[in-house]
Chain A
Amino acid sequence: MAAAVVARGDVSGLDNKDFEKLAVPLLDGLYNFACWLSGDPDEARDLVQETFLKSLRGFASFREGTNFRAWMFRILRNTFLTSRTGLERRNTRQEDEEGFEESAVTQETPELALIRRADTELVQAAIAQLAPAFQEVVLLADMEEMKYQEIAEALDIPIGTVMSRLARARRQVRAHIVTVLGEKKIVGTKR
């Protein structure tokens, strides 16, 4: 029980015996994140295994005061980025902060009803269409319920970038939902 609490916070002075208690509860979240990153369950499995191997090896030199969960996610992500899929993904998809088109739908139009109507599949599609740099931020914030500081550590980016990417990612998710359901509504009324 204590281990799970520590896993979300800071770790210090722990030996290898504690690794299992700390790391295994994170496995499901890491695997889910790996599936989103790689888009392939088999690759995700390899990524998770490699992450555990690397983190186990590095656990002895684990820096005091570092967030364990953020550290694990960081290892996973770095492993992915250096994998073949990761390299391909980086080359084919633009991750530049400025390179993204903003949706025409702005925050000023509340579309609460549409968001409530959105089913899981549609929201998954909305997450899937995000560029990796945005997808990872929104998944860590909303799914893993990480704080901004933790996300910054996991992704190795400044906290300001976390905030701006998160805001953009959410606007894009929202725009996707509103566009898809909005179109359905128009088609529906025409019939």
Chain B
Amino acid sequence: MCLAVPGKIVSITCDEPLLRAGKVSFGGIVKEVNLAYVPEATIGEYVIVHVGFAISKLDEQEAQRVFEYLRQMEELGELESGSA
């Protein structure tokens, strides 16, 4: 129910504050999405979309942290298999 998927803004169709909307591409499938809650998001940027509404703009730097975290763990020797 809280399913929300990332998509890329390809155009802005309305720029009025509460009605802000645009076309968002989900791997090639393009849908009209309400962008009122992400006024800072612009064309080419990624947003998380839930029931036709963008609820956040994806942070590119933060998105890499999952993998950086792994690299840090590697340095700590936590990634070696056979912990037993």
* A and B part of one assembly: no
Question: A residues near B, CB below 8 A?
Answer: none
